Amino acid sequence: MNNGLLNWFKFASPQSFYPLAGKMIPWFWALAAVLGAAGLYIGFFVAPTDAQQGEGYRIIFLHVPAAWMSMFIYLVMAFWAAIGLIYKTRLSGMMASALAPTGALLTLLALWTGAFWGKPMWGAWWVWDARLTSELILFFLYIGFIALQAAIDDPRRADKAGAILALVGAVNIPIIYFSVKWWNTLHQGASVSLSKSPSMATTMLWGMLLCALAFWMYSIAVALMRVRSIILERERGTEWVRQRLTSAAR
Amino acid sequence: MVWNSFSEFLAMGGYGLYVWGSVAATALVMALEPVLLARRQRTLIAQIRRQLAADGRSTGQAPRSRA
Amino acid sequence: MLALLKTVVARDLRLAMRRQADIVSALFFFIIVVSLFPLGVGPEPDLLRRLAPGVLWVAALLATMLSLPRLFADDFRDGTLEQLALTPQPLAVAVFGKTLAHWLSSGLPLTLLSPLIGMQFDLPGDAVWTLVLALAIGTPALSAIGAIGAALTLGLRGGGVLLSLLVLPLYIPVLIFGAGAVDATAGGIAAQAHLSVLAALSLGGLFFAPWATAAALRIALE
């Protein structure tokens, strides 16, 4: 994705981005695997036991990266949506739609791991904690985006309508987050904080960072795979697709 | 290394179910998503190829404008 | 610009008055939903008093949403919307007018009806007044944000359900501060802060949402 941004003008057309994405995907997979292996090794074998939460805190190495990425992907999605609206580049709209399902899945993962963390720590699978609740709302926003695009048959209209929704959502996320936080502090006292244990050892932080980077690379790889499918679907009638697919290459 | 034995590693200090439940969910999603995407791409390519072959037979070579 | 605004508001209100049944049904929907809760959770006054702010606000959100699919649909069908988009004035002004008319025919009646429901739930007198005030201040935001969803789903199949999927998550801040205001008053705290935030949400919504709505309408009109 960063490459796409640097060479933006050269690779803004789906036709030239399609092969480029194909070349980049293995690299992002490799990065994701290496970073993930390192992060999980640190997280599960090197990082010491937490004084308060015992071994249960090790969920942090999956939960926090998933939560971070779920929020980050929405912002990236809104960014591509804005670019698509302003510069009318077709690729950016496809990028936004390619990111949404991955973002929704990561939100789901953050909720799932949050529940599996909350159960031993809070004694309940679900607590209306400010962060969990905002994450749930973020999931609804993703679902709304995907549902809206699925309901529109014309891809160009789907891109534009999705872009407006993504931007409205991005503007609203901080408002929603702060109101949920306010609501939470009004209704219940401070509970065990999930991601901020006071004695966060440096090794823990490193494990978390590496895992977050691995999740990031994973998201890019998966989004590129999906954007390739979207490009093919939309451009299936064009000459370059015909040439590409009738020659032996993928 | 913080573990003395493999069974201790599996038990996760009594949090085994929760830790491994999270790991399993994450692994499942991260394995399934790319597999499904790769399959989507493969079927799509096969479908377009079939269509191109059919078009080529019927009209010589002119590509269809939009499917 | 003001002339256009006045025309749009007057026209939409006249149309709404011609279809009073819609307004009345939305009101009864509000009453019925609220009345279901005591039947669901039991008639203890203490419990109902605790639940009232949230229940009333959730019902208000749902009731305002009922009329949203109609907001642009009729004008879209008979071509009025296209005419509005072609006028030299910004489309957002017309959208603002339609939003105001929508509020006058959905949010305002709800607000006027709410004291009755508040008393049904045995809310203390000052909490009832806060409820009225909060609804009056907060429901314009619902109309404004809802208009975005209505424009995005214009002409789509299954538009109504989709609309609620898009709009309800965006309503959450209004719900939190609206119900919070009533809660605060019932708990003996001043609701000033809540009401100020609600006012900010409404003003912000009324100012920014019409632009997004207008952009969404232009996409639907293409």
- Which residue ranges make up each domain of chain B? 30-59
Residue with tokens 């993504």: A166
Among residues C11, C28, C204, the alpha carbon closest in space to that of C110 is found at: C28
Query: CB under 8 Å to A81, separation ≥6 — which residues?
Result: A92, A93, A96, A162, A163, A164, A166, A167
Is the Cβ–Cβ distance between A121 and A192 less than 8 Å?
yes
State chain B's mean pLDDT as an integer.
82
Q: Can you give the pTM of this predicted structure?
A: 0.89
Is the Cβ–Cβ distance between C57 and C179 less than 8 Å?
yes
> What CATH architecture applies to the domain A23-246?
Up-down Bundle (1.20)
Cβ under 8 Å to B: A residues 191-220 = 218
Q: What end-to-end distance do the CA atoms of chain B give, in Å?
A: 58
Q: Does A10 touch chain C (CB under 8 A)?
A: no
Query: CB under 8 Å to B33, separation ≥6 — which residues?
Result: A102, A105, A222
Q: What is the pLDDT of residue C32?
A: 94
> Which pairs count as long-range contacts for B44-51, CB under 8 Å and 24+ apart, including other chains?
B44/A229, B44/A232, B44/A233, B45/A232, B45/A245, B45/A250, B48/A232, B48/A236, B48/A241, B48/A245, B49/A245, B49/A246, B51/A236
Query: CB under 8 Å to C176, separation ≥6 — which residues?
Result: A179, A180, A182, A183
pLDDT, tens digit, 9 for 90 and up, residues C24-68: 999 999 999 999 999 999 889 899 998 999 999 999 999 999 889
Among residues A209, A195, A230, A14, the alpha carbon closest in space to that of A102 is found at: A230
A223: closest CA of chain B, how far (Å): 10
Is the Cβ–Cβ distance between C207 and C185 less than 8 Å?
no
CB atoms within 10 A of CB A90: 18
Whether A167 and C177 lie within 8 Å, measured CB to CB: no
Is the Cβ–Cβ distance between A211 and A46 less than 8 Å?
no
Please report residues of A whose CB lies closer than 8 A to that of C212: 164, 167-168
Residues in chain B, total: 67
Please report residues of A whose CB lies closer than 8 A to that of C158: 151
- Tokens at residue C72, please? 């642009």
Residue B61 DSSP class? T
Please state, in angstroms and rounded to a whole number, the distance separating the CA atoms of residues A226 and A241: 16
| Percentage above 70 pLDDT, chain B | 84
* Per-residue pLDDT at B33 exceeds 90: yes
Q: What is the pLDDT of residue A43?
A: 87
Phi, psi of A50 (to 5 degrees): -75, 140
Burial class (CB in 10 A: 0-12, 13-18, 19+), C3: exposed
Is the Cβ–Cβ distance between A65 and A214 less than 8 Å?
yes
pLDDT, tens digit, 9 for 90 and up, residues C85-122: 888 888 999 999 999 999 999 999 999 999 999 988 98
DSSP run (H or E) holding A183: helix A155-187
Q: What is the pLDDT of residue A190?
A: 41
pLDDT, tens digit, 9 for 90 and up, residues C170-221: 999 999 999 999 999 988 888 889 999 999 999 999 999 999 999 999 999 8
Q: What is the pLDDT of residue A89?
A: 86
- Tokens at residue C208, please? 């920014």
Query: CB under 8 Å to C87, separation ≥6 — which residues?
Result: C4, C94
A–C CB contacts, 8 A cutoff, strictly below: 69
Quote the ipTM score: 0.90
Q: Hey, where are the domains in chain C? A: 2-221
Q: Hey, where are the domains in chain A? A: 23-246
Q: Does A150 touch chain C (CB under 8 A)?
A: no
Is the Cβ–Cβ distance between A39 and A214 less than 8 Å?
yes
* Per-residue pLDDT at C144 exceeds 60: yes
Point out the least confidently predicted range of A120-134, A169-183, B24-38, C132-146: A120-134
Residue A54 DSSP class? B
What angle do helix axes C125-152 and C91-102 make, rounded to 10 degrees? 140
CB atoms within 10 A of CB B28: 12
Among residues C100, C102, C110, the alpha carbon closest in space to that of C25 is found at: C110
Q: What is the pLDDT of residue A199?
A: 53
pLDDT in tens for each of the 250 residues of chain A? 455 455 556 667 888 899 999 999 999 999 999 999 999 999 888 888 877 777 888 888 999 999 999 999 999 999 999 999 988 888 999 999 999 999 999 999 999 999 998 888 888 888 888 888 899 999 999 999 999 999 999 999 999 999 999 999 999 999 988 888 888 777 654 444 545 555 567 888 888 999 999 999 999 999 999 999 999 999 888 888 888 888 755 4
Among positive and negative, which fits the CA dihedral B51, B56, B58, B63? positive
Is the Cβ–Cβ distance between A98 and A245 less than 8 Å?
no
Among residues C55, C63, C68, C70, the alpha carbon closest in space to that of C28 is found at: C63
Q: What is the pLDDT of residue A187?
A: 63
pLDDT, tens digit, 9 for 90 and up, residues B53-64: 888 776 555 554
Q: Does A226 touch chain B (CB under 8 A)?
A: yes
Whether A55 and B40 lie within 8 Å, measured CB to CB: no
Amino acid at the residue C159: G
Please state, in angstroms and rounded to a whole number, the distance separating the CA atoms of residues A106 and C186: 40
